[in-house]
A = this chain, B = another copy of it.
């Protein structure tokens, strides 16, 4: 029996001729299960390119509904599907792109008490969310499940992405906590508060899809990539695991972030940079 159908050979030919890829790589993708948490600005491009590439099973986790204000950047949804659950809308779109992919939509929010249940059995976790609490929760979950985490973020005209955790060249990579033991920066700003350029979420999402595929193919690396429109691109090598981080302890760390979620800024709809600072005060510390 053929490992791939004729349609799959035709469909994936242009990528299978890549040196890192070939038939073995395509089969690794086909057998892989990934979870994409968040089918928004980052999740849409991630889902498009993972589905296009032929990742076998994709869990899409999002409790939110498509809103017209999403569509400038959440390009997998359509005006017709405003009001529908984003995970379901995204699943429809990627099935239309590639019927060989099994899309499993999970219209739920990820919390402390369901993260392991929703995410066990996956090979890679992809964080396309927009709140620091969820980011730490997903990192802790990936540590506990002992899988790599592809994590990206975008706000205003800036973006960054990297692979955290997992093993590269026999060495444990830094987890998200190793790199970012506390929250500063955009201070918990979310795209619904501060806004974002669509092409920025697009670039970061495509970068994340690339990292996820490299990771599945066994060609992962250790850069964090950063962009800001109008400035040079920049990449830096991330350190390896920090011995003092909870991820390096003998035991998997307790997940202990979700309790901060009451501090987020859901009430604020639009803010000026001045107001942003005021908001930052209330949400900066999620984990000290």
A binding-site residues for B, Cβ under 8 Å? 7, 10-20, 45, 48-49, 52-54, 68-73, 75, 77-80, 96-99, 156-157, 191-192, 194-200, 202-203, 205-207, 209-210, 213-214, 219, 221, 223, 225-227, 229-236, 270-271, 273
What chain B residues lie within 8 Å of A195 (beta carbons)? 13-18
Which of the residues B13, B97, B227 comes within 8 Å of A78, measured between beta carbons? B97
Which of the residues B78, B214, B270 comes within 8 Å of A96, measured between beta carbons? B78
Given the known inter-chain contacts A18-B156, A209-B199, please indicate yes or no for A48 contacting B69, CB distance below 8 A: no
> Which of A11, A14, A53, A80 has the largest number of chain B CB atoms within 10 A?
A14
The quantity of this chain's copies bound in the complex is 2
Chain B residue nearest to A18 (CB atoms) is B195
Q: In the complex, what distance in Å separates the CA atom of A126 from the CA atom of B229? A: 18
What chain B residues lie within 8 Å of A20 (beta carbons)? 157
What chain B residues lie within 8 Å of A14 (beta carbons)? 69-70, 72-73, 191-192, 195-196
Chain B residue nearest to A202 (CB atoms) is B206
Cβ contact within 8 Å between B45 and A11 = no
Chain B residue nearest to A100 (CB atoms) is B79
Cβ contact within 8 Å between B45 and A71 = no
Q: In the complex, what distance in Å separates the CA atom of A230 from the CA atom of B213? A: 12
Q: In the complex, what distance in Å separates the CA atom of A14 from the CA atom of B192? A: 7
Cβ contact within 8 Å between A202 and B71 = no
Q: In the complex, what distance in Å separates the CA atom of A35 from the CA atom of B157? A: 24
Q: In the complex, what distance in Å separates the CA atom of A99 from the CA atom of B210? A: 31
Q: In the complex, what distance in Å separates the CA atom of A10 from the CA atom of B192? A: 12
Cβ contact within 8 Å between B7 and A202 = no
Cβ contact within 8 Å between B210 and A203 = yes
Cβ contact within 8 Å between A15 and B230 = no
> Which of A225, A227, A236 has the largest number of chain B CB atoms within 10 A?
A227
